[in-house]
Amino acid sequence: MLSPPTQLVFADKLDYRLMAVGIVFCLIQAILPPIVWLFMGQFVTNSIRREIGKCNRTVAFERWQNNDSWIVGDNTSLFRNESLANVNQTKLDQEFKENAPLVFWMMLGLSLITFAAAFLQRLTWEISAVRQVFRVKKAYISKLLHMDVAWLESRHSGEVAAMLHDHADSIYQGIADHLPMTIFIIANLIATLIVCFLTQWKTTLVMLTAIPILIITRIIFTKWFCKTLEDEQQLQGKLANLVQETFNCI
């Protein structure tokens, strides 16, 4: 049997089930938006084609009215083309009327499902993270009570509490925020690339050239943010110790 990751050693069977459900809802939340965009794009494309057909008919009719020459063959061809355009425009209008309600309800349903999946995945990860952090704090305090008194006296009075709070908060953020966010970003990226390749693969290849720049920028920002956060935590620990020592002296 594979041992659980270090961050999940305090998880029980219920926590693993909650996280599994959270992963499923996270995948649903990541995959459905590109599908909604695909249907929306097709519907908008059909609407634009319909309006372009109307504009072309209007322009052709205005040109015919402004034409001074009256040639029987040309007018016969013009009326024939106009009749075909009317038939095609009627078909486009009929398809638009039939597809508009269906596309509307489909996009509304997919949007509601995406919202419900986002809420449920957040709820499951939050519950699992709270349960695991509670066990972490319980184990930390239990271990602290078995420590030597000399070790406790060598520490500042607020250092132990600050350490417990910082570590527990980091574990909570890792389980409830960072892990589902990583799963969501990877799944959403894969689903979006598939939809983009199915729609316009040439444009997608051009857009992919910007990914290395985005990755490098993200790495630089992450390193800077981690360094800033570490300095902030150290300063916060020093301030907590100073405040605790001040109250003890009072």
CA atoms of 121 and 137, how far apart (whole Å): 24
pLDDT average, residue stretch 230-235: 77
Residue 128 near residue 171 (C-beta atoms within 8 A): no
CA atoms of 39 and 204, how far apart (whole Å): 18
CATH superfamily of 10-200: ABC transporter type 1, transmembrane domain (1.20.1560.10)
Residue 249 CA, distance from chain mean position: 50
11 by Cβ neighbours in 10 Å (0-12 / 13-18 / 19+) ranks as buried
Instruction: Read off the pLDDT of residues 120-171 as tens digits, 9 standing for 90 and up.
Output: 999 999 999 999 988 888 888 888 777 776 666 666 656 666 677 777 888 8
Average pLDDT, the chain: 76
Q: Residue 46 corresponds to which tokens in the numbers above?
A: 């059909």
Report for 27-31, 55-59, 146-150, 156-160: range of highest mean pLDDT: 27-31
Q: What is the pTM of this model?
A: 0.67
Concatenated DSSP letters for 151-182?
HHHHS-TTHHHHHHHHHHHHHHHIIIIIHHHH
pLDDT at 12: 85
Domain boundaries, the chain: 10-200, 210-250
Instruction: Read off the pLDDT of residues 183-218 as tens digits, 9 standing for 90 and up.
Output: 998 998 888 888 888 888 787 788 778 778 888 888
